[in-house]
A and B are shown apart, each in its own frame.
Chain A
Amino acid sequence: MLKIKDLRASIEEKQILKGINLEIKKGEVHAIMGPNGSGKSTLSNILAGHEAYEVTGGTVEFEGKDLLELEADERAREGIFLAFQYPVEIPGVNNATFLRTSLNEIRKHNGEPELSGKEFLDLIKVKMVEIGLPENLIQRSVNQGFSGGEKKRNEIFQMSVLNPKLALLDETDSGLDIDALKIVADGVNKFKNDDNAVLLVTHYQRLLNYIVPDFVHVLYQGKIIKTGGKELAYELEEKGYDWIINDFKEVESV
């Protein structure tokens, strides 16, 4: 589904990604872990099409298409979704109107008929119960005055309504208490199936207790320095990052 080859990127002349190689297949869950400043969020932002970053090398193929050629909104319509670490507040724009606009843009792109207000409401009612999103939030302005937990839940709610092929979750676990974390993880697990894929970006292992990854990658200084199965996450939890970083530095110096 997604093939990243030697991806290099910078922001304001500062090199952040220094050659990322990663392949994600349908049905897989990948976790990207790493210390702060390793480039985790940059990777998810670049995949979603953030214009502040400059791609200086490499390729990204998504479902056979050159992803780097597409604008952020085109990528979203192709089936990429980014759940933000800090969702943006948009006063004056009703959450339901916003999401219906979004869903219908994607449906139009896929050659499906647009949903009427009624059809849309029927669809979201089920999803709202699933994610535990209070009903009044859907009639409020997008994310305005939402608590941190509500914003994250709203992201997962949007994901489940838009049903993307590839979901990028950027530190979705940060700032959540354990109950909220379980709800969010539950939402992701319900979304997950054999035809889509998930890329989780996280600093902590705890989310991976609830969303079990097929692969764990450690990102450090803009490179993936280790890849393993879910057991790698447990190891990181126990031993921290230093042992991998030290191994990596030894290899580099040889």
Chain B
Amino acid sequence: MNKDKAEKSMINKWAENFRKFEAGLNGESKSEFHKSRQNAFKIFSKLGFPSIKNEEWKYTNLAKFHKHEFVHASEIEEVKYKKEDIEKYLFKGFDHHLLVFVNGKYSEKLSCVGETENNVFIGSLCDLLKEKPELLDNVYKGENNTSAITALNNAFTQDGAAIIVPDNKVIEKPVQVLYLNGTQNEKVHITPYNLIIAGKNSGVKILTSYNSTFENVYFTNAVTNINADENAHVDYYKIQNENENAFHVHQVNIEQQKSSNVSSYSLSFGSQLARNEIIATLNDEDIDCNLFGLYLGKDNQHIDNHTMIDHANPNCRSNELYKGILDDNAHGVFSGKVLVRQDAQKTDAYQSNKTILLSDTASIDTKPQLEIFADDVKCSHGATIGHLDEEAMFYLKTRGIPTELANSMLIRGFVDDVVQTIKIEELKDQINHIIFDHLHKIEI
């Protein structure tokens, strides 16, 4: 009874936030788009936040999250940045288009999109709705509402990155999307809704990074939809580098059509609690789906990676490799499901999760799951948990290399196969730098 009451008051709190959000929308609240928001909020209210009784949230407890009262980003005063302020958050060394979002809202001033051809759209969801709403007709249905937190994003959807690549067009320069999150005083609720649509025979590389400019608590509640049409090639990088007080919950939905190739790189460093969820649906034949991940945790961080690859059709390949290093009291969760449906003959599916624990108090719950209903497939999965290799450590020390430096070399060695999958060459060293910086280890 008491528990129900508590849950109800929690939902009421968010309902109050939603009313304020609606009030701030003025005329827009009459639009079709807003109806989908209202619908999403209804779904959220019905589902409620997941508890640890929910199998998918068994190892990720939101109790600490519920202690905070958040204010939606639309309610707060805009945080102002100059171009030079954002320099240090950018990945450098390669030409790119740049989209910058401040607490989820597009900043035209800070962004820099180079010339593109007709029908290519690189910008914000708001502008897309204004300028080319027809591009959205078949995409945004406001219905990624299978989970409460995703529904919450859909209810509060305001803006996000929108990248639309028409058929037969390859965008050479990577699109860098920078999210600057948090404020000095408010606990802000940030709701980016990102859309990546790659047409037939198209290609695009997207490099997103979530960063904090303050140390205050906030809640990033993001959703990204990636649609790769026939023979499209999409590389999606996500670097989650929020501050260690932040809550970060992000669902990525990948829909792939025939012969498309999508590679996702999820590199998770920051947050007090991070939940990176990826759902990939392989809708036709001859599809390649690659999910690579790194997670680096220290102090009391909690990092949860949830992935699901749905093989519904024959002759597709999926390859998943997630590696993590956890220090101090950090807690990791890996839940990777590969579903091979009855019709999905000749599927090749590989999944591997490896974690190194640097302390006695760091821990990981790992749950690799392979469900196969077809009989002619090649599948494998596995998970390992261990410490840095003692024989390798001895080898390095017999060469006069001190323990601290030897540790760094072995860390570099451990993450190497994931780092090497990164296709933007200039990014590798910068990722390497973040790894050592985050773990407070000597960089090598």
| A residues with CB within 8 A of B | 48-52, 71-73, 75-77, 80-82, 84, 87-88, 90-93, 97-99, 101-102, 105-106, 109, 141, 158, 162
- Decide: A90 and B399 in contact? CB cutoff 8 A: no
Q: Once the chains are docked, how many angstroms separate the CA of A51 from the CA of B391?
A: 10
B402 at the interface (CB under 8 A from A): yes
B400 adjacent to A98 (CB under 8 Å): no
Contacts of A162 in B (CB 8 A): 399-400
Known: A73-B403, A73-B406, A90-B392. A48 touches B398 (CB 8 A): yes
Query: Assuming A91-B413, A93-B413, is B394 touching A76 (CB within 8 A)?
Result: no
The residue from A52, A84, A97, A109 contacting B400, defined by CB atoms under 8 A apart: A109
**Quick check: is B395 within 8 A (CB to CB) of the other chain?**
yes
On whether A77 and B400 interact (CB within 8 A), knowing A87-B395, A90-B392, the answer reads yes
Further contacts, 9 of them, CB under 8 A, given A92-B420, A162-B400: A51-B390, A71-B403, A84-B398, A88-B391, A92-B416, A93-B444, A102-B399, A105-B401, A105-B405
User: Are B412 and A93 in contact, CB atoms less than 8 angstroms apart?
Assistant: yes
Q: How far is the CB of A74 from chain B (nearest CB, A)?
A: 8
B396 on the A face (CB < 8 A):
yes
Q: List 19 A-B contacts (CB under 8 A).
A: A48-B398, A49-B394, A72-B397, A73-B402, A73-B403, A73-B406, A76-B397, A76-B398, A76-B399, A77-B400, A87-B395, A88-B389, A88-B395, A92-B413, A92-B415, A92-B417, A93-B409, A98-B399, A105-B400
Complex Cα gap A87–B392 (Å): 9
Interface residues of B (CB under 8 A from A): 389-392, 394-403, 405-406, 409-410, 412-417, 419-420, 444
Are B396 and A82 in contact, CB atoms less than 8 angstroms apart?
Answer: no
| Interface contact B392-A97, CB-CB below 8 Å | no
Residues of chain B contacted by A49 (CB below 8 angstroms): 394, 397-398
Q: How many whole Å from A2's CB to the nearest CB in chain B?
A: 16
- Cα(A90)–Cα(B391), bound, Å: 11
Q: Is the CB of A98 within 8 A of B409?
A: yes
A95 to chain B, nearest CB (A): 12
Using Cβ atoms and an 8 Å threshold, which residues of chain B touch A98? 396, 399, 409
B400 and A73 contacting across the interface, CB-CB below 8 Å: yes
Do the beta carbons of B396 and A90 come within 8 Å of each other?
yes
| Residues of A with C-beta under 8 A to B392 | 88, 90
Taking the closest CB of chain A, its distance from the CB of B409, in whole angstroms, is 5
Which of B389, B392, B400, B444 has the most chain A CB atoms inside 10 A of its CB? B400
B-chain residues with CB within 8 Å of residue A102 when the two chains form the complex:
399-401
- Residues of the B chain whose Cβ atoms lie less than 8 Å from the Cβ of A50: 394
Question: Complex: how many Å from CA A158 to CA B400?
Answer: 12
Chain A residues near B403: list those with CB within 8 A.
Answer: 71, 73
Minimal beta-carbon separation of B155 from chain A (angstroms):
44
Given known A73-B400, A102-B401, A162-B400, contact A92–B395 (CB-CB < 8 A): no
Tell me how far the C-beta of B126 lies from the nearest C-beta in chain A, rounded to whole angstroms.
42
Residues from chain A with a CB closer than 8 A to the CB of B444 are: 93, 97, 101
Do B419 and A158 have beta carbons less than 8 Å apart? Answer: no
Chain B residues lying within 8 Å of A101, measured Cβ to Cβ, are 401, 405, 444
Residue numbers in B under 8 Å from A48 (CB-CB): 394, 398
Chain B proximity of A181: nearest CB distance (Å): 23
**Complex alpha-carbon distance, A93 and B399, angstroms:** 14
Say whether A158 contacts B399, CB under 8 Å: yes
Tell which of B397, B415, B420 has the most Cβ of chain A within 10 Å. Answer: B397
Say how far A11's CB is from chain B's closest CB, in angstroms. Answer: 13
Contacts of B389 in A (CB 8 A): 88
A91 to B354: give the CA distance in the assembly, Å: 15
Q: For B416, list chain A residues within 8 Å (CB).
A: 91-92, 141
A51 to B397, CA, bound (A): 11
Q: Which 9 A-B pairs have the closest CB atoms?
A: A92-B416, A76-B400, A72-B397, A102-B399, A73-B397, A88-B395, A105-B400, A92-B413, A77-B400
CB distance B397 to A90 under 8 Å?
no
B389, B392, B417 — which one has the most chain A CB atoms within 10 A of its CB?
A: B392
Q: A88-B391, A88-B392, A93-B444 are in contact. Are A72 and B398 (CB under 8 A)?
A: yes
CB contacts (< 8 Å) of B398 on chain A: these are 48-49, 72-73, 75-76, 80-82, 84
Q: How far is the CA of A195 from the CA of B348 in the complex (A)?
A: 60
